[in-house]
Amino acid sequence: MGILRFRVAAKENIEFGGGFVEFLRGSTSSKIVDIIYGNATGQSVIANQVLYTYLTPSDDGYIEVKASSNQILIGSGVLNLTITHKASATQSDQNIYFNFDSSPISIEISYNSKPVAEDFTVDITNRSVYVFEPTDFTDHYIDFDNDVLSQISISGDITGYEVNSIPYNEGDWISINDINSGLFRYVSLNQDTYYEKDNTWKAKDINGNISN
């Protein structure tokens, strides 16, 4: 008699590279993350196929990872995933781990926060020109990540505000460097009586996040 032997190959895992994605604290949003893979043998995913969940959508920290589209994984390529995440206001950076077809995937999630702009008041003398200084704004600016203040903008009746001696356009971003150079100022009215000028301002941090 001869020997009939089946040699059954061991399962070969897909080799996934790590993913990276950044979210804004205190908000819920969805991001696309690309995962590089190799050694795939025709595995498939269906659009919106859920690969990972953590908590429920109403919970701070909720995470759901889904396939972005129908994809068949052959050889090497890029797996497109969509991550929906409700990040708390104080969320720390983290890594999530899950398997697809028994092959491990890891995604690094980092966070950034919107800066907070605070109310402030400036007192100036009659008929004077007030040249803003960076500290006018940085002293009333908070950033969870300690990102520095990069730009500010003013809204409302912007009559009298000037940048480099040119009337300021509402909503334009002014760099802290320009403010530091004395280019942003308010020219008060030519009148004797006391008045108040009320505006709102926004802060943009160095990562481009804008205060509410």
Partner 1 sequence: MANLKIRIAGISTKEASINVDWEMHDLNYTLNSLFSSNIEGITINKIKLVSIGSALTIENNSIIQNVDDEILMSDMDAGNTRITYDHVVSSSSILEYQAIGSSIFNVTITFNSIV
Residues that bind partner 1 (CB under 8 A): 116-128, 130, 140, 154-155, 186, 188-189, 192-203, 211-212
Of 102 and 212, CB closest to partner 1: 212
Of 33 and 203, CB closest to partner 1: 203
Of 31 and 140, CB closest to partner 1: 140
Minimum distance from CB of 196 to partner 1 (Å)?
A: 5
Of 45 and 152, CB closest to partner 1: 152
Of 155 and 181, CB closest to partner 1: 155
User: What are the Cα distances from residue 159, in Å, to 54, 134, 164, 210?
Assistant: 51, 21, 15, 24
Which token pair is 166?
């040119």
Minimum distance from CB of 121 to partner 1 (Å)?
A: 4
Provide the sign of the torsion angle of the four alpha carbons 205, 208, 209, 212, taken in this order: positive
Placement of tokens 């040699």 in the chain: 7
Calpha distance 158→161 (Å, rounded): 6
Bridge partners (DSSP) of residue 186 are 130, 161
Minimum distance from CB of 120 to partner 1 (Å)?
A: 6
Q: Tell the burial category of 133 from Cβ atoms under 10 Å away from its Cβ (0-12, 13-18, 19+).
A: middle
Minimum distance from CB of 124 to partner 1 (Å)?
A: 6
Placement of tokens 């399962």 in the chain: 11
Which token pair is 139?
């002293």
Minimum distance from CB of 145 to partner 1 (Å)?
A: 19
